[in-house]
Chain A
Amino acid sequence: MTDAQISQMTPEGSEIPISERGPAPTRVVVSYGFWLFILSDIILFAALFAAYAVLSGQTAGGPSGHQLFDRGHVLIETACLLLSSFTCGMFSLAIDQRSARYTYVFGAITFALGLGFIGLELSEFTEMIAHGNGPQRSAFLSAFFALVGMHGTHVTLGLAWLLGMLAQVATLGFTPRVVGRLRCFSLFWHALDVVWIGVFTIVYLGAH
């Protein structure tokens, strides 16, 4: 039986009705609010996925996805993001243990892997644009750059957030407020990895 279940029991052992349990702990409420933000962010991505699905065949005589994308490149990008998601998990475990040392170590690895992902994505974008296949080439490429670029923007913002959080751990320490923010950050980072599963499946592997 978990703590949460025990707290819902009266001393006599019967269950306390929901109406008498009082407010949920801040940790649960904050996670729920941030989870709602993440879901609304995923709905934003859904609109871009819908645009891509509709426009992916409209190449206007230009190159198709099959000709443009390099699967080896995408596999390395995926590996970077997946491993960074794992180290982000280690990062949050280090925070639960209040271990500053491992928080910095895993924070730094997560940051490096995320930066590697962004670097690979930017190199792919600049190469495509250099060959005249920028977003203005066709409706397909507009949708591609909007969707993949939006994901890249999220990862970039996440990297900035991670730097900010590491600075807060260094200056403020593990205060409840900082720990709450760190928890939100790890939710955000894992959610970006979930979105990337959709991107590499639909955009890169589904290219025709």
Chain B
Amino acid sequence: MANANDRSSNIPDNTPEQHGHAEGQGHDAQGKPPGETPDLRAGVLKYLAGLGGSIILTLASFWAAGTDQVWGPGIPVLLAALAIAQMGVHLVFFLHISSGPENTNNILALAFGVFVVALVVFGSMIIMANLNSHMLPMDKLLQMQR
């Protein structure tokens, strides 16, 4: 790591001033010019918020899967809701999908992706369940072959 650090100081665009920012980087935003601080601080806080939300939702999922305090048939619905909520948290806090003007295309693409995923998954499940219910039971099939 020390070697790599020495190296980086040879890189032209990594000025000593920028290196100074790095030293103070962390949760306490000390020794940085005021213009730099809010950006980094807001960034760290955003990732921390995402991590916190994600940990809570993950633990809730694992709790919901093993509990008997929730009505049994409701558990899959609860798990699905928790998973979708956690995906939302990841999209907003980690992947930075927002409603900003630069993000319009990303959101449209995401909507189309979700649409295709839903078609593939639920379409397959419905078609296969339907075919399955129209299958002859195996013993009857064997009887017919005699």
Interface residues of A (CB under 8 A from B): 2, 4-5, 8, 24, 28, 31-32, 35-36, 39-40, 42-43, 46-47, 49-51, 53-54, 71, 75, 78-79, 82-83, 85-86, 89-90, 93-94, 96-102, 104-105, 108, 169-170, 173-175, 187, 190-191, 193-194, 197-198, 200-202, 205-206
Interface code B97-122, partner A: CB below 8 Å = 1, 0 otherwise?
A: 00011100110011011001100110
Whether A198 pairs with B125 at a CB distance below 8 angstroms is no
- A53 B125 Cβ-Cβ under 8 A: yes
Please, how many angstroms separate the alpha-carbon atoms of A99 and B101 in the complex?
A: 29
A53 near B47: Cβ-Cβ < 8 Å: no
Bound state CA distance, A170 and B5, in angstroms?
Answer: 9
How many of chain B's residues touch chain A, expressed as a range?
A: 35 or more
Question: How far, in angstroms, from A1 to B56 measured CA to CA in the complex?
Answer: 33
Given A51-B124, A205-B62, check contact A86 B117 (CB 8 Å). no
On whether the beta carbons of A39 and B110 are closer than 8 Å, the reply is yes
- CA–CA, A90 to B5, complex, Å? 18
Contacts of A5 in B (CB 8 A): 101
Least CB separation from B105: chain A residue: A32
CA distance A121 to B40 in the complex (A): 34
